[in-house]
Every structure is written in structure tokens, then in C-alpha cells.
């Protein structure tokens, strides 16, 4: 006799009881259940049910992506518990799991179909420039926790894997147009087709908006963005055992950047307002899949990427900025040189400030130059352009050794090159070798033991070995408890460790020291001997899928420590790169995804993060309390709605609360379908977004979309 689903009034009791109340009836019933379980791939590179994963996972599926009404990936990541989403300068999103000051996401690995889009040269992820349209995304899998065991350095705190739709599931024509307030003007078009042995998807898309309205003093914000994307994905079956997948992606666009250069010397007028970035990205990948038998498979994947950023802006400062003597003084003692430069008017009537004999001698020469006309303004062009390239080759073997033992192993080679006269005085490159493995042993019907490790050797940073061990107790296949210990490392990137940062100013408005171009006196060099960051993570958790009522629950308790931490600031005249800092994160996370009926879906997340850091800046972007809540409903007759709430109690000391409402109507026109949708975003607070310069004139924005499929 079937007992039927538990009454909803006893849901809380069921949640509390399930981890421990493993009665024989439940075990016998559900272990014999033949219904397929939802699976994820990103955690260990093995397909696993959520209850068997050695860590916490969040999956943002295509239904959730559409219902959210989000226009870019950072906004989607607000649905991930513990993910801190903010904005530093206008359209530049700052996304980090549990925070830290690293606004460039250098402690997260971000992948598109397994291909990293993290830029190792400048230690950043260009969130606004990721070359994939939301309409092409099947799901986003987020592993919440360290995972260098599977993906190497940078996966220190989390892994975001963006998985695109298979060409086989993309047949037909699809077009979409979105327009609304704040200059929103997005478009998308795709065509999918198939033949006897393969499938293809071609998509074109574009995005545009005006960004924030004003800065902290009420002046207009220069932070609009525009981009266009191209994507081609092809899957080809060679025979019963072999297939090939290949992709080509390209993106071009412009990002307006607030003009942030401030003259060092008093009385100098700024040179301009345009410091915009022109961006062009290219990527290609080829993957060969070979299935020896149902228990053994192998793939080889190669990829090539290029990031091209062109940024030329005009700056003005005093002629003394190009003084050879001031440059020598900076190399001798940067603090002394900056003290003299910042107070030149004060010292110009006397002698140089106290210091060593060499410092004072150079200082007095600089003062003489200042008194003899070097205090006059001179303007010129600064080229801050960069170009980065990556070549990646990976081999992975997946083998079922027995019914209870599975092994995934492989190797990876990556070559990175960064080219910038400003940041590296030319070109710098790095090579990385990786060996990885993960073993899953089903010791019994209930116990699952997992262990893995990655050996990594980086030319610029040396070698390392990171382990992970986990024990999962499966109450039944849908409910599991987990205990995880892992270590993770992050190798310092080129920008942190090997930067050679200086500005060459060309086309000077008047000659400086007999030349029409000059080298700015500030020169910043990385230490070259930074050690790796080390993270030790402990996690206890529970994941349960109540199939009868369509409810998935994940609860996580964590204690994470980062030592030998490279902290901010990493700015040209304030470069503090050392391994002298540390951070600690403790807390809990919960996510609940409930398909209450065929028409209703409820989703709730919450994170409590207690952060401490030796450098206060490293907890600046950490909200103690954050979360989201969403309700999606199909009303019938083609009508649907979704409402979402997002909240953080403090990111950079600013509260964030917003409610999003989406209403859509789907209309059948013969063999075609049209969906008309309206989206309203309403801020519930009246504070800047993360940074004091990020302000909107109105707390709401409204935009509409029309989508055609046939």
C-alpha cells in the first residue's frame, strides 16, 4: 500500500527528520526506485546526483534564466546563495563567492562549456563581455566551494560553468528584441538545423544600455556599453563510438569607462573624459569524444582564445612628471618621491624634504626644474591597450572499474600570453601543466567515499598538489549527508607577481625635456616571488530531493580559511603585493527549489557569512546576510508570471534590495510561437549600487521583449 505524499503541513518535520530517519521501508523503497535522478557534471567531472556530490551545487536552469528576466550573467548569479554581486565602476560587475575585495574574480574559475574565460594576464573576468547570449545557455552549474582538484588554480572559492544548448536541441528559427528604459536595446537571432549525422546552431546577438545615471556629486556617469556577438556550434557523429563538437565565438563592443585619472601635481586641469575601451574577443574549440563502451569514455579538447582591449586616453600633468631625476628618485624611494610630488608648491620655496643624501640631492634637482618652468601643464596620449592569448589542450578519461568504483583522470596543458606596453613593458607568457584524478567508491548501499587530487606546475609560480576527501551518507539515492575537507591553491597571476607598470605618454602638447613623448615617473613592478594562496575548507551538508512533492533542499555549513593571501590595493602608485594577509569565512547557506504543482515553482536562497580578515578591504565586499526568493507561475491560456526578490544587507557598506516582476503572454500563430513580456525592476532602497558613484535617477526600470520561434 502506498502511503502517498506527506501532507504539506508536515513539510518542516519531514525536512528535519529525513537526514536521520532512514527507516528500512524508505531505504528499500527508494533504492529500488527506477526514476532517473537529476545529475550535475561540474563538481567532479563525473555525472552525479546532487546527493552524491562532494560539495554544494546550484543549478540555474533555462526555465529559471528566462523567468528571471535577467539580461546578463552577473544578474543571474544573484540566484546563487553566498554569491556577492556588485558593480565597481559603472558597467564593470564585481562577482565573488563570499566576497573578498578581489572585484576581478581572480578567486573563481569561470567556464563556458568547460573552457576557462578567466584572463590570467590581468587577473580578471570581463563579466560584461562574456561572449555568450543568455538565450544560448542551457544551464549554469555553480560549485560553491574550492575545487582546484577538478579545475586548477583560480577555482579557489567557486566554479561557474556556463553550459550552452546542444545544437541538437536548437533546431528552428528564434528571434528576440528587448527595449526599454536606461537605453536598453538588446536583440538575438538564431538558426538551428540538423542532418543525418550532425546538428548546427548559428546565433547572432547584441546588447546595449546606458549604465548608471550619475556619480556621487551628481555629474553624468560615463558607463554605457554596447556589444555584438557571433556563435557557431556544431556536433558531428563520426560512428557509433566517436563524435566531434566544435565551437566558434566572437564578440566586439565598447565599454565606456569613467575618467579616473587625477593629476599628481596641484593646479593641473584634467585632460579629458574619454577613457573608453574597445573590446574584441575570439574563441574556438574542438572536442573529440570516444566511447569505448558504456563503462569507458575519453575526450580530447583543444581551444584557442584571444582578448583584445584597446584603450587610449588623454591625460594632463606637469612637465616635471617626465623628469629623469624624478624617475630616479621614484626608483630609489617611491614614498619619498610621492611626498615631494604631492607637496611641490610647499617645498618649491625651500629645499627638498629630509631624507638620505641621494634622495635630497635628486629632490633639489627636481625642485630647480619646477621653479624653471617644469610646473607648466603638458598633455599627451596614454595607450593602455592589452592583448591576451590562450592555448589550451586537455585529455580526460572516465572509467567505471566496477559497479561500485569510478575513476576520472586526465591532464591539461595551457599557454597564456599577455602583451601590454603599459602593464608589462612588452610581452610576458606562462605555461601550466596539470594532472588530475578523482575516485568515487560506493562502499555500500549507503556509503559513498570520494577522493581526488590535482598536481599543477606553473612556470612563473612553481608546483603544487591539492587534495580533497569527502564522505557521503546516502539515506537513499535522493537524500544524502556529506562531510568534505579540501585544500585549494591559487597561483599569483602575471599582473600580481610580474607587473612592470608604467605609462608612456605620446603626442605631448609641448616638448618635455627635449622630447615629444616621455615616460611617466611612476614605475611599479611586481615582487616576482609571491607564494601561492592556500585555502583549507571544511563543509557539512545535506541535499534532499522529495520527488513526490517536487522539492529540492540543500543546506551547507562551512568553515574556510585563506592564508598567504594577496590583497588589495594593486594600483599603479599604491601597489601592495605580498602574502602577508589572511581571511576566514564561516556560516551557513540554504537553497530550496519547490515545484509545488505543474503551474507553480518556488525558489528561496539564504546565506549567512561571517567574514574576518587581516586587511579590512578583504571583507568590504562581503554581505553578512544575503539571499533571494522567487515565485514562478503558469496561469493558463499562455499567461505566465515571475516575481523575484534579491537582498544584501551590505556590499561595500551599501544595502541592496530589489524586486523584479515579469509578466508574459505566449501566442500560437500556426506553427510559430510569439511571446510578449514586460519586465519591471524596482529598488526597495535608495542607496548607491556597491560604489558611491553608481546612482540611478529613478529606482525603477521597465523594459519589454518580443520573441518569435518557428
Specify the residue for cell string 561572449: 131
The alpha carbon of residue 152 and the mean position of all alpha carbons in its chain are separated, in whole angstroms, by: 15
For 548-570, give one letter per residue: b (16+ CB within 10 A) or e. Answer: eebbbbbbbebebbbbbbbbbeb
- Between these two residues, 258 and 127, which has the higher pLDDT value? 127
Edge-first strand listing for the sheet containing 377-383 = 312-318, 377-383, 500-506, 518-525
The alpha carbon of residue 5 and the mean position of all alpha carbons in its chain are separated, in whole angstroms, by: 40
Mean model confidence pLDDT for the chain: 90
User: How many whole angstroms separate alpha carbon 653 and alpha carbon 483?
Assistant: 34
Neighbours of 285 (CB within 10 A): 20
- Between these two residues, 383 and 13, which has the higher pLDDT value? 383
Model pLDDT, residue 270: 74
Neighbours of 577 (CB within 10 A): 21
For the residues 161-174, what does the mean pLDDT come to? 95
Position 432 confidence tier, pLDDT thresholds 50, 70, 90: very high
- Give the global pTM: 0.90
Neighbours of 459 (CB within 10 A): 12
Model pLDDT, residue 103: 60
Strand (E) or helix (H) holding 116: strand 115-116
Neighbours of 45 (CB within 10 A): 20
User: How many whole angstroms separate alpha carbon 61 and alpha carbon 303?
Assistant: 26
- Rounded to 10 degrees, what is the CA torsion of 290, 293, 294, 300? -20
**With 90 as the cut, is the pLDDT of residue 78 above it?**
yes
Strand (E) or helix (H) holding 498: helix 494-498
- Any idea what DSSP says for residue 131? S
- The most confident of the ranges 147-156, 198-207, 274-283, 320-329 is 198-207
Q: What's the pLDDT tens digit per position in 379-424?
A: 999 999 999 999 999 999 999 999 999 999 999 999 999 999 999 9
Position 9 confidence tier, pLDDT thresholds 50, 70, 90: very low
> Which of 253, 307, 202 is closest to 72 using CA atoms?
253
Amino acid at each position: 500500500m502506498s502511503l502517498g505524499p506527506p501532507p504539506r503541513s508536515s513539510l518542516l518535520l519531514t525536512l528535519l527528520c529525513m537526514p536521520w530517519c532512514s527507516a528500512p521501508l524508505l531505504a528499500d523503497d527508494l533504492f529500488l526506485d527506477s526514476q532517473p535522478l537529476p545529475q550535475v557534471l561540474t563538481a567532479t567531472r563525473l555525472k552525479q546526483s546532487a546527493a552524491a556530490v562532494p560539495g554544494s551545487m546550484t543549478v540555474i536552469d533555462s526555465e529559471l534564466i528566462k523567468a528571471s528576466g535577467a539580461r546578463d550573467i552577473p544578474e543571474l548569479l544573484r540566484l546563487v546563495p553566498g554569491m556577492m554581486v556588485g558593480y565597481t565602476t559603472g558597467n564593470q560587475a564585481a562577482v565573488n563567492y563570499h566576497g573578498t575585495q578581489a572585484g576581478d574574480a581572480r578567486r573563481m574559475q569561470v567556464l563556458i562549456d568547460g573552457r576557462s574565460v578567466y584572463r590570467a594576464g590581468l587577473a580578471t573576468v570581463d563579466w560584461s563581455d562574456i561572449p555568450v547570449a543568455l538565450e544560448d545557455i542551457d544551464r549554469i552549474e555553480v560549485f560553491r566551494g574550492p575545487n582546484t582538484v577538478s579545475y586548477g588554480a583560480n577555482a579557489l572559492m567557486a566554479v561557474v560553468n556556463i553550459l550552452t544548448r546542444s545544437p541538437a536541441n536548437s533546431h528552428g528559427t528564434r528571434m528576440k528584441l528587448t527595449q526599454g528604459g536606461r537605453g536598453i536595446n538588446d536583440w538575438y537571432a538564431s538558426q538551428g538545423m540538423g542532418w543525418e549525422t550532425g546538428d548546427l546552431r548559428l546565433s547572432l546577438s547584441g546588447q546595449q544600455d546606458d549604465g548608471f545615471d550619475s556619480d556621487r556629486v551628481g555629474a553624468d556617469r560615463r558607463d554605457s556599453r554596447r556589444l555584438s556577438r557571433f556563435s557557431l556550434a556544431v556536433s558531428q557523429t563520426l560512428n557509433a563510438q566517436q563524435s566531434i563538437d566544435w565551437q566558434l565565438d566572437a564578440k566586439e563592443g565598447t565599454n565606456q569607462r569613467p575618467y579616473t585619472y587625477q593629476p599628481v601635481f596641484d593646479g593641473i586641469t584634467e585632460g579629458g573624459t574619454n577613457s573608453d575601451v574597445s573590446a574584441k574577443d575570439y574563441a574556438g574549440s574542438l572536442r573529440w569524444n570516444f566511447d569505448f563502451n558504456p563503462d569507458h569514455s575519453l575526450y580530447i579538447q583543444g581551444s584557442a582564445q584571444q582578448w583584445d582591449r584597446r584603450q587610449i586616453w588623454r591625460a594632463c600633468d606637469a612637465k616635471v612628471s617626465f623628469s629623469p631625476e624624478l624617475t630616479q628618485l621614484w626608483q630609489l624611494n617611491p614614498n619619498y618621491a610621492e611626498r615631494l610630488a604631492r607637496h611641490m608648491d610647499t617645498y618649491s620655496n625651500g629645499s627638498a624634504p629630509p631624507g638620505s643624501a641621494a634622495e635630497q640631492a635628486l629632490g633639489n634637482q627636481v625642485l630647480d626644474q619646477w621653479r624653471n618652468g617644469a610646473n607648466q601643464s603638458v598633455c599627451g596620449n596614454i595607450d593602455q591597450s592589452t592583448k591576451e592569448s590562450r592555448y589550451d589542450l586537455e585529455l580526460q578519461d572516465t572509467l567505471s572499474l566496477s559497479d561500485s568504483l569510478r575513476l576520472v583522470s586526465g591532464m591539461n596543458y595551457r599557454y597564456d600570453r599577455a602583451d601590454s606596453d603599459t602593464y608589462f613593458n612588452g610581452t610576458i607568457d606562462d605555461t601550466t601543466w596539470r594532472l588530475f584524478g578523482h575516485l568515487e567508491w560506493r562502499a555500500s548501499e549507503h556509503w559513498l567515499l570520494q577522493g581526488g587530487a590535482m598536481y599543477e606546475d606553473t612556470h612563473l609560480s612553481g608546483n603544487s598538489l591539492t587534495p580533497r576527501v569527502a564522505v557521503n551518507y546516502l539515506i537513499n539515492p535522493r537524500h544524502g549527508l556529506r562531510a568534505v575537507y579540501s585544500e585549494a591553491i591559487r597561483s599569483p597571476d602575471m599582473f600580481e607577481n610580474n607587473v612592470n607598470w608604467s605609462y608612456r605618454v605620446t603626442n605631448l602638447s609641448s616638448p618635455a625635456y627635449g622630447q615629444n613623448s616621455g615616460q611617466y615617473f611612476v614605475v611599479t613592478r611586481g615582487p616576482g616571488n609571491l607564494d601561492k594562496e592556500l585555502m583549507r575548507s571544511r563543509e557539512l551538508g545535506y541535499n534532499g530531493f522529495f520527488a513526490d512533492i517536487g522539492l529540492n533542499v540543500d543546506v551547507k555549513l562551512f568553515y574556510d580559511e585563506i592564508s598567504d593571501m594577496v590583497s588589495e590595493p594593486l594600483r599603479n602608485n599604491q601597489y601592495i603585493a605580498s602574502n602577508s594577509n589572511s581571511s576566514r569565512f564561516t556560516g551557513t547557506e540554504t537553497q530550496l527549489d519547490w515545484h509545488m504543482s505543474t503551474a507553480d515553482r518556488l525558489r528561496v536562497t539564504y546565506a549567512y557569512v561571517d567574514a574576518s580578515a587581516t586587511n579590512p578591504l578583504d571583507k568590504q565586499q562581503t554581505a553578512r546576510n544575503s539571499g533571494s526568493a522567487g515565485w514562478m507561475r503558469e496561469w493558463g491560456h499562455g499567461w505566465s508570471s515571475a516575481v523575484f526578490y534579491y537582498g544584501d544587507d551590505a556590499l561595500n557598506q551599501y544595502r541592496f534590495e530589489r524586486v523584479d516582476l515579469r509578466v508574459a503572454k505566449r501566442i500560437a500563430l500556426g506553427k510559430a510561437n510569439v511571446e510578449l513580456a514586460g519586465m519591471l525592476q524596482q529598488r526597495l532602497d535608495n542607496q548607491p549600487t556597491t560604489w558611491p558613484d553608481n546612482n540611478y535617477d529613478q529606482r525603477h526600470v521597465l523594459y519589454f521583449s518580443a520573441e518569435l520561434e518557428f
